A and B are shown apart, each in its own frame.
Chain A
Amino acid sequence: MAEVEYRGVSRRFGEIQALHDLDLLVADGEFLILVGPSGCGKSTALRLLAGLDKPTSGEILIAGQPVTRLGPGERDIAMVFQNYALYPHMSVFANLAYGLRQRRTPRAEIQRRVRETAVLLDIDGLLDRKPGQLSGGQRQRVAMGRAMVRRPQAFLLDEPLSNLDAKLRTQVRGDLKRLHLELPVTSIYVTHDQVEAMTLGDRICVMSNGEVQQLGTTDDIYNRPANTFVAGFMGSPPMNLVAGEVRGGVVRVAGAALADFSSPDAPVTVGFRPEDLRIVGPLETDSVPVRIDVCEPLGSHVLVHALVDGSGAESSPTKVIAQAPPGTTYDPGARVGLTVAPGKTFVFDAETGRAAPPPTRERIATA
C-alpha cells in the first residue's frame, strides 16, 4: 500500500493535449475515482501511472519514489482492464499465478495465495477452467483476483464494470466496495459512470479536456459543483442549467425571482437539480413558467420534461427536467410553473461557467 502522486503530469499525442499539467495526490489506502466523458484524459492518466505510456512532462511517484522511468513490471501495481485481458490459453489458476511466477515466488506460496484469493472472490471452483468457459461476472472476478493475488502497492481499475449487464454491475459494485473495506489498498478507478463514481469513491476527480474540473467527496461534487461542467455531468438526471440573470440582488430565470444573490447585475447560468423542483400552477408567484414536453414514469417517481417559456429562440427553448411524485401526469403542452427548494439554487458565471461565490439566503420557493 502506498501513496500515489502526479506532479505536473502532461501527455500530448501530436496536436492533442490528452492530459494537461495534472497534480493529484492519492492518499495511502484511498479509493479515488477518475470520472469524465470519453476523451477527458482519465484513461491516459491511469495508463501513465501503470507505465503503459510515458508522460510528455511531469513526474509520477508511488510511495514517494519516482517511477516515471520504470517499466510497468517494476512499479508494483496491478491493473484490471475493461475487457479483463485474461490470458485465453491459460486456466484460471495459471492466470492468477502468472504474475507470481514472473516474480519467482516459491511454488507452495503461489498455491497458497492463489487459493486464498480464489476463496475470497468465490472463484475457487473455477480454477481449472479457461476464461472462455466463464461468464462475464466470473471473468471480472478472475481479473480482480489476478490483480489482488500479487498484493500490489496500488490497484488501477479501468472501467472494470462496463462490460457487465446492469443487474450484475450493481452487485459487483457492492462487492468492490466491500472488498476495499476489507483490503484497503490504494485504488485508482476510472469510469464514465457517475453512479459508480459517487458510490465507490472516497474522493472523486471529475475531468474534462485533460484537466481536473473538481476534486472532492461525493457530497462536494454533488452539492457544491465547481462549475457548469461538473454540475451538468454528475447526477442522474444531471442538474438543469438555464440562462438567467442577477438583477437588483436577485437571481431571476424567465422573470421569476428564485433567490437573493448579492452580486453586481450580470447575466448568469442558473442551476437546479430535478429533485429540488416542485411543479406548481402556472400563475404561482415567482415560479419559472414552463410548457410540459413529456412525462417519464419510473415507478418510484416521474421525470417531467419541460421547456422554459421565453428562453432562447422559439425553435430551441431550454429543456429542464423535474422529478415529481409517482402518479404525476400532464398533457404535453400544458403550462405549469416550477419552484426551487430553498437553498438549492446554484449560480454560475455565464461566461466562464465557474460557480459564483456561495449564494446567500433564499427568498422564494416555499409556496
Chain B
Amino acid sequence: MAGQDAAAFPPAARPGWVGRLRRSESATGWMLVSPGAILIGIFGLLPVLMALKLSFQKSDLLTPETPWVGTRNYRQLADDPRFAEAIQHTIVYTALFVPGTMLVGLLVAAALNRSVRFISVYRTAAYITMAVSTISEGIIFLWLTDKDYGLVNATLNVVGISSQPFLASTSQALYVIVAMTIWGWTGFAVIVYLAALQGVPVELHEAAAIDGARPFTRFRTITLPLLSPASLFLMVWLTINALQLFDEVYLTTRGGPLHATTVIVYYLWDQAFVQFNAGYAAAMAYALFVVIVIFTALQFWLSRKFVHYS
C-alpha cells in the first residue's frame, strides 16, 4: 500500500526562490496588506516617530533650527503649573464623563431593549447623536446655554431660577462640556449596550424569575455581570477619548474662561500652534500617551475581577 502511494506521488522537484515565494502564504499575506500597511506607515507611524524625536528638541515649527535639548521638555512639564491645572481638569472631566456616559447609555439601552411598536425609530433616535458632527454639537450647546437667549436659562427662569452663565463661568463651564459630550456619546454607548443586552439569553431571566428574583435583582445579578465585557470595552474606549478631549473645548470655550476648561490636549495644541513650543507640546503628547497606556493596562487588570466571558 505504502509502496503504491510512493509510486503514485513521486517527490516534487525542489522549486526555485520565485516558486517558493509564490507558494509562500506569508508572502501572499504581506502583498494583500501592503497597500494599507504602507499608508499607515507613512501617515501614522512616521509622524509618531518624528514627534518622539521632536520631544527632545526645541522647535517653533517656523525656523529650521531645532536644537537638541535632551530631557528638558519633559522636566519642564513637571514644573508647569498650567500643565498641572490641565491634568486636574482632564481628570475631573474623565471621572464624570466616562461613568456618566456608561450610565446614561445603559439606562437608555435597557429602555430600548424591548419589542414595542416603532422600536427601530426610537433606537435610531438614540443613536442619532453619533451622526451629529462635533461642530453642530458645539453650536447647539452654545445656543442652548446662552445667557440671554438660551433655552436652558429660559426654562430655569420659568421655574424661578435666575439665569446661569454656564460656559462663561469658571465654575460651570467644565460641567457643561461634560454634559455636552455625554449627550454626544450616549448613542455610541446605547448601541454597544443594546447589542450586549440582546445577547443575554431570555431563559436566564426566566430561570431567575422562577428562582424568585425580582426585576431589579435580576438586572443586578444576571444582566449586569453578563454585560461586563461591553462595560469594559466602553470604559477603555471612553477613557481614551476623554483623556484626548479637544474639539468640544476648542469649539465652545477655547480653554477658558480663565483656563477653567483647559484640558491636556487643548493645552498641548495651545503650546504647539499658538505659542509655537512644538518640542514642549510633543513631550506633553508622549506624557499623555504613557498615561493612556497605564490607564488602559490598569483597566484590563482590574477587569479580571468583574468581567465574565461566557
Tell me whether A102 and B207 are in contact in the complex, defined as CB-CB below 8 angstroms, given that A87-B222, A89-B226 are known contacts.
Answer: no
Bits for B226-268, please: 1 = Cβ < 8 Å to A, else 0: 1010000000000000000000000000000000000000000
- The one of A51, A77, A98, A103 in contact with B208, judged by C-beta atoms closer than 8 angstroms, is A98
Q: Once the chains bind, are B217 and A102 in contact (CB under 8 Å)? A: yes
The 8 A CB mask of A66-85 against B (1 = contact, 0 = none) is 00000111110111010101
- Cβ proximity bits A55-75 to B, threshold 8 Å, 1 near / 0 not: 000000000000000011111
A85-B201 in contact (CB<8A)? yes
Additional A-B contact list (6), CB under 8 Å, known A83-B201, A85-B204, A87-B204: A71-B209, A79-B210, A81-B203, A87-B221, A98-B208, A99-B210
Complex Cα spacing A77 to B211, Å = 9
Cβ of B211: which chain A residues have Cβ within 8 Å of it?
73, 98-99, 102, 146, 150
User: Closest Cβ of chain B: how far from A341's Cβ, in Å?
Assistant: 47
Check if B310 is an interface residue, CB within 8 A of chain A.
yes
Known contacts A88-B226, A88-B308; is A81 also within 8 Å of B206 by CB? yes
Q: Is A52 an interface residue, CB under 8 A from the partner?
A: yes
The reply on B53 being an interface residue by CB < 8 A is: no
Residue of A nearest to B306 (CB): A89
CB atoms of B210 and A77 under 8 A apart: yes
- A50 interface residue (CB < 8 Å to B): yes
A85–B207 touching, CB < 8 Å: yes
Which residues from chain B sit less than 8 Å from chain A, CB to CB? Answer: 201, 203-204, 206-214, 217, 221-222, 225-226, 228, 308, 310
- Contact for B210 among A78, A83, A87, CB less than 8 A: A78
- Quick check: B217 and A89 within 8 Å, CB to CB? no
B213 and A102 form a contact (CB under 8 A): yes
Q: Which chain B residue lies CB-closest to A102?
A: B212
Residues on A with beta carbons closer than 8 Å to the beta carbon of B208: 87, 98
> Across the interface, which residues of A come within 8 angstroms of B203, CB to CB?
81, 83, 85
Question: A residues within 8 A CB of B228?
Answer: 89
Q: Closest approach, in angstroms, between the C-beta of B215 and any C-beta of chain A?
A: 10
Q: Give per-residue flags for A102-126: 1 if the beta carbon is below 8 A from chain B beta carbons, else 0.
A: 1100000000000000000000000
- In the complex, how many angstroms separate the beta carbon of A136 from the nearest chain B beta carbon? 16
Chain B CB within 8 A of A132 CB: yes
Q: Which of A83, A88, A103 contacts B310 (CB 8 A)?
A: A88
6 A-B residue pairs with Cβ-Cβ distance under 8 Å, sorted by A, are A72-B210, A73-B213, A73-B214, A77-B210, A79-B207, A87-B204
The residue of chain B having its C-beta at the shortest distance from the C-beta of A147 within the complex is B210
* Interface of B: prevailing SS: helix
Neighbouring A residues of B207 by C-beta, 8 Å: 79, 81, 85, 87, 146
Q: How far is the CA of A132 from the CA of B226 in the complex (A)?
A: 14
Whether B213 pairs with A85 at a CB distance below 8 angstroms is no
Q: A247 to B208: give the CA distance in the assembly, Å.
A: 61
Considering only CB atoms, which chain A residue lies closest to B307 in the complex? A89
Contacts of A75 in B (CB 8 A): 210
Contact (Cβ within 8 A) A98 B204 = no
- CB-nearest residue of chain A to B308: A89
Q: Which residues from chain A contact B201 at a C-beta distance below 8 Å?
A: 83, 85
Whether the Cβ atoms of A132 and B310 lie closer than 8 Å is yes
- Residue in B212, B214, B222, B308 whose CB lies within 8 Å of A99: B212
Are A73 and B222 in touch, CB under 8 angstroms?
no
Cβ-defined contact, A89 with B310, below 8 A: yes
Give chain A residues whose Cβ lies under 8 Å from the Cβ of B206.
Answer: 50, 52, 72, 79, 81, 85
Chain A residues whose C-beta falls within 8 Å of the C-beta of B222 in the assembled complex: 87
Q: Which residue of A lies closest to B224 (CB)?
A: A89
Which residue of chain B has the shortest Cβ distance to A132 in the bound complex?
A: B310
Q: Is the CB of B209 within 8 A of A89?
A: no
| A73 x B310 contact (CB < 8 A) | no
Residue in B210, B213, B225 whose CB lies within 8 Å of A89: B225
Residues of chain A within 8 A (CB-CB) of B212 are: 73-74, 99, 102-103
Residues of chain A within 8 A (CB-CB) of B204 are 85, 87-88
Distance from A153 Cβ to chain B, minimum over Cβ atoms (Å): 12
CA distance A133 to B228 in the complex (A): 19
Q: How far is the CA of A150 from the CA of B211 in the complex (A)?
A: 9
A98 touching B213, Cβ below 8 Å: yes
Cβ distance A155 to chain B, nearest Cβ, rounded Å:
11
A87 to B308, CA, bound (A): 11
Q: Which residues of A contact B308 (CB under 8 A)?
A: 88-89
A71 and B211 alpha carbons, distance in the complex (Å): 11
The distance in angstroms between the C-alpha atoms of A24 and B95, with both chains bound, is 60
Residues on the B chain within 8 Å of A50, using CB? 206, 210
- Cα–Cα distance between A72 and B214 once the two chains are bound (Å): 10
Q: How far is the CA of A75 from the CA of B212 in the complex (A)?
A: 9
Leading 7 A-B pairs by shortest Cβ distance:
A99-B211, A89-B308, A73-B212, A85-B203, A102-B212, A88-B310, A85-B207
**Which residues of chain B have C-beta atoms less than 8 A from A79's C-beta?**
206-207, 210
For the complex formed, measure the closest distance between the CB of A270 and the CB atoms of chain B, giving whole angstroms.
Answer: 44
Give A87 to B217 CA distance when docked, in angstroms.
14
| C-alpha spacing A74/B222, complex, angstroms | 19
How far, in whole Å, are A102 and B214 apart by their CA atoms in the complex? 9
Tell me which residues across on chain B come within 8 A of A85, comparing CB atoms.
201, 203-204, 206-207
- Considering the chains assembled together, what is the distance between the CA atoms of A74 and B226 in angstroms? 25
Q: Is there an interface contact between A72 and B209, defined as CB atoms closer than 8 Å?
A: yes
Across-interface contacts of B221 in A (CB, < 8 A): 87, 98
**Smallest CB–CB gap between A256 and chain B, Å?**
53
In Å, the complex CA distance between A50 and B212 comes to 12
Residues of B within 8 A of A72 (CB): 206, 209-210
CA–CA, A332 and B301, complex, Å:
70
Interchain nearest-CB distance for A69 vs B (Å): 15
Q: Which residues of B contact A78 (CB under 8 A)?
A: 210
Tell me the nearest residue of chain B to A52, going by C-beta: B206
Kindly state the separation between the CA atoms of A75 and B222 in the bound complex, as whole angstroms.
21
* Alpha-carbon distance between A74 and B221 when the two chains are bound, in angstroms: 19
Q: Bound state CA distance, A336 and B201, in angstroms?
A: 55
Q: How far is A73 from B206 in the complex, measured between Cα atoms in Å?
A: 10
Query: In whole angstroms, what is the CA distance A73 to B207 when docked?
Result: 9
Distance in Å: Cβ of B11 to nearest Cβ of chain A: 44
Closest to B213 in A: A102
Q: How far is the CB of A187 from chain B (nearest CB, A)?
A: 15
